[in-house]
Amino acid sequence: MTTPEELAAAAKALMKSLGLSGIKIATNTGLSTGTISELINGKSFPRDETWELFVTGGCGQPWEMWRQARARAQRDLLRRRPPEELADRLEEAQERIQALESAAIEAAKRLALLEEQVAAIQSARSSERRAEDEEAAQRRQENAADVARQRQFGRALLTEVPVDFEHTMADGAWLAADVDGFVARVRDLALTSMDELRIFLATTPMSFPYAAMGDIGYYKEGVREYMVRLRLFASMYSKVSPEELDEMLASGVGGS
């Protein structure tokens, strides 16, 4: 088999010897019946892959002998073509190569542009993250400074407004247990949060239950004076700026 015609005739003879129809081969290979008809009748010269599928998948034959026969037939077919046709095919191939090269260059340009855009987006996001991290760090520093300032002011408050009222069992005294609970709450808040302490003082009534006969109490005048002084001193915290507050604390407001 050295010519396309001989190759096509051999393929038709192979089908006949195996008792195969075009429909059967089409079913086994996925090739169309039209393609199979053109192949065995020499109407076209299919690609190598189509021939291999016909031979191996459709007819169940080894490919190598047929591959060599197709190569010989293809060389014969090329020798038959006039130079003009070959020149046209060469020119067409060159045009396709140029088109592919142009497409590759354009694709490379688009890729470079996309890479620049991605880099710009990543840089912007990185800058945003750095700015957010810096803001968060600044807020943490400010919060830490505010907490430290509140606790320092709270200690000054406890020193400036000491608990100096005395126990009594006289009539009209306020119950010591309730007053002691109030004082303990003031101490806890003064050492943790002046903001919460101010709210606590503003919402706590200026009175306590009276002590029953035989119960220990505190003179209400002394307790009330203590509460008034607490509110006045605590109100200073919200009326001055952090800078002024730092100066007050540095100057020894409230003693040690």
CA gap 172, 209 in Å, rounded = 10
Helices 194-203, 83-160: axis angle to 10 degrees equals 50
Mark residue 242 as left, alpha or beta (left: phi above 0; alpha: psi -120 to 50; beta: remaining): alpha
For residues 174 and 223, the answer to whether their CB atoms sit within 8 Å is yes
The per-residue pLDDT for range 62-103, each reduced to its tens digit, is 999 999 999 999 999 888 877 666 677 777 888 899 999 999
Place of tokens 């195969």: 20
Instruction: Tell whether domain 4-80 is in CATH 1.10.260.40.
Output: yes
**What are the two backbone dihedrals, phi and then psi, of residue 174, each rounded to the nearest 5 degrees?**
-85, 145
Q: What are the Cα distances from residue 165, in Å, to 27, 122, 244?
A: 108, 66, 32
* Length of the chain (residues): 256
How would you class 64 by CB atoms within 10 Å of its CB: exposed for 0-12, middle for 13-18, buried for 19 or more?
Answer: exposed
pLDDT at 148: 84
Q: How far apart are CA 40 and CA 29, in angstroms?
A: 15
- What is the model's pLDDT at position 255? 42
Distance of CA 216 to the CA centre of its chain: 64
- Pairwise CA distance, residues 147 & 193, whole Å: 7
Q: How many whole angstroms separate alpha carbon 224 and alpha carbon 67?
A: 112
Domain boundaries, the chain: 4-80, 144-250
Whole-structure pTM value: 0.45
- For 83, residues 6+ apart whose C-beta sits below 8 A from its C-beta are none
Q: For residue 86, what pLDDT is reported?
A: 62
| Sequential pLDDT tens for the chain (256 residues) | 789 999 999 999 999 999 999 999 999 999 999 999 999 999 999 999 999 999 999 999 999 999 999 999 999 988 887 766 667 777 788 889 999 999 999 999 999 999 999 988 988 888 888 888 888 778 777 778 888 888 888 888 898 899 988 889 888 899 999 999 999 999 999 998 888 998 999 999 999 999 998 899 999 999 999 999 999 888 887 666 656 656 665 665 544 3
